[in-house]
Structure 1
Amino acid sequence: MYQPTQSGHQQVGGTQPRGLTFEDTLTRDMRVALHDFEEVATVCNWCAEECLGEMGMEECARLCQDVADLAILNVQFIARDSPFGIDLAETFAYAAEECERECAQHPHDHCQECAAVLRRAVDSTWAMLDAFESIPQGRSQVPSQQY
């Protein structure tokens, strides 16, 4: 049964009402993080590909691949409102911070661009997670408190 909160979004555990779009279920922080996850996946995969042909760039390539995979998984977890979403988002943030440090050490344009994209994604991920912590128990602003 659909039970909107004061903000008009559904309570935890309800079903989606007709006419509600996926975007309608997301908070602003979630939309920003979702965009950043998608950008990270693209840029990190590109950076990893560029690193593979360069001597001494193996660690950078590996971290970029890992973070790109985590970013894609975060997009999927948000879409299905996974109960593991918050844990995965935290894992992403820690891995992305490590990858950012690695990329920032290298002078290559692809590494510098990747580091900048990662910084934005880390910031938006922590902002999204902080917003979830500020929601009082039992009062969700999104369909569920999972993510």
Structure 2
Amino acid sequence: MALQQIDHVDDRMQECIDNCLEAAQVCEWCADACLDEGEEMARCVRLCRDVADVTTLHARWMARNSGYHHELAAICADLCEECIEECTRHDHEHCQACAEVLPDCVESCREMASA
């Protein structure tokens, strides 16, 4: 109910916020699980942690209507694409889940970047 009172958050922005928060959640899970998979997963861990951080920040900036959220949206999309590429290289369930969730975040962040 209270979230409906935020007048600058339209449906498109809310979808992006939701996608960013989902991406952060799956990336945190993936990064944590990758730690048990060995040193060859170090790049995946780093990218997933970076995505979790930037997507969370992007969601927060959109919620408060930061004047810079459009620029962060582009960075967020680029980082998610790099993480998708890395995660698809691995057969682990967590990596596959990550690669499956992130494209929605990429798409909505690209929309925010071009808005």
What TM-score do the two structures reach when normalised by structure 1? Answer: 0.72
The unaligned stretches of length 5 or more in structure 2 are: none
Task: Please name the residue that 1:92 is paired with.
Answer: 76
Which structure dedicates a bigger proportion of its chain to helix?
Answer: 2
Larger radius of gyration: 1
Task: Please name the residue that 1:102 is paired with.
Answer: 86
2:110 maps to 1:126: yes
For 1:1-147, what aligned pairs fall within 5 Å after superposition? Answer: 21-22=5-6, 24-55=7-38, 56-130=40-114, 132=115
Query: C-alpha separation between the residues in 2 aligned to 1:96 and 1:21?
Result: 30
Query: C-alpha separation between the residues in 2 aligned to 1:32 and 1:80?
Result: 15
Task: Please name the residue that 1:10 is paired with.
Answer: none
The unaligned stretches of length 5 or more in structure 1 are: 1-19, 133-147
What one-letter code is carried by the residue in structure 1 that aligns with 2:60? Q
What's the % identity of the aligned pairs?
41
Q: CA RMSD in A?
A: 1.2
